A = this chain, B = another copy of it.
């Protein structure tokens, strides 16, 4: 079905143009005209693929999520067959922070999405589902690390998962240039060192 593939490819090209616009200017005042211009097509052509701003934003968010998962997967593949859970959590967490152009665009779209969710039930449900999905993935790694004695058995997996996700608050510190990327990575590393230092295999 070459035609369908073309259609999907064109939609992805437009979504990537949207990422670039969001990375440069944020998603708040985003217009379809800006995205069409960045994609090098007319507004009419863009509207052939996406009927509304909301539809394009949803597609771009989904694609960004898939690409993030792929990047985490590639990072982990480089760590051998059974990567250490500390490395897995680090890769997941770092990918959520605006530390490179693609992650920055995803992070900015997500932030705009969360604000939009406050007055749109459909967006709220969609954003919540996506976050619950990511949360479950982190919790699974934490639970396994506790079961394997790499994180102390008295740590609560739910609390540890929530604290790890809460560290995405570094986003604002990065976006406002209050903390340098290197300092954020150093803080994340210290945090993970302490989490795993409490493991049975590494008694305090």
Which residues does A use to contact B, with CB under 8 Å? 24-29, 108, 111-112, 114-119, 124, 127-128, 131-132, 135, 156, 158-159, 162-163, 165-173, 175-179, 183-184, 186-187, 190-191, 194, 204
Copies in the complex: 2
CB–CB A179/B167 < 8 A:
no
- Whether A159 and B190, one on each chain, are in contact in the complex, defined by CB atoms closer than 8 angstroms, is yes
B115–A115 contact, CB under 8 A?
A: yes
Please state if A159 and B176 are interface contacts (CB–CB under 8 Å): no
Q: In the complex the two chains form, what is the Cα distance from A170 to B168 in whole Å?
A: 8
Task: Supply 18 further A-B pairs (C-beta < 8 A) apart from A163-B187, A167-B169.
Answer: A24-B119, A25-B118, A28-B112, A28-B115, A108-B115, A114-B176, A117-B175, A118-B175, A128-B178, A135-B178, A162-B173, A162-B183, A162-B184, A162-B187, A163-B167, A166-B167, A169-B171, A194-B194
A165 and B173 form a contact (CB under 8 A): yes
